[in-house]
Amino acid sequence: MTQKKFDLAKNLALKLNNQLKAGGVPGRFGQEATAPVDKREQRRRDAAAGLVPFACKLPSELAQQLSERAVAHEGGMTGLLVELLGKALKKK
C-alpha cells in the first residue's frame, strides 16, 4: 500500500515530534541549571582547590566595608580577603 506525499510528511512530522518530547530537557537548561550545589559537594570542591574554612569575628563597620568592596571584586568576598590578607602579610 503506497502512501500519499502528504501522509508521508505527516508521519515524519509525528515521528520527529515524538522524538523531541521523549528527548527531555538538557541539564544545562532544566532543573540542574538552577539546582544549588549542596554543602558537601561545595566542601569537596573547596578542598580540591586547597581552600580551608576560616571564621573570625569582625566589627560590623569593617564587615560592611568588606561587603561593599566584595561586590565590585571579581573574586567576591573570598577573592577580596585573599588579596587584602596577602598584601598585609607581605608588608610584615
DSSP 8-state assignment for residue 2: -
Distance between CA atoms of 59 and 79, rounded to whole angstroms? 20
Task: Look at the block and give the residue holding cell 566542601.
Answer: 43
pLDDT, greater one: 36 or 5 = 5
Does residue 29 carry a pLDDT above 80?
Answer: no
% of the chain beyond a pLDDT of 70: 86
Distance between CA atoms of 48 and 38, rounded to whole angstroms? 16
How confident is the model at residue 70, as a pLDDT? 92
What's the whole-number mean pLDDT along residues 20-25? 77
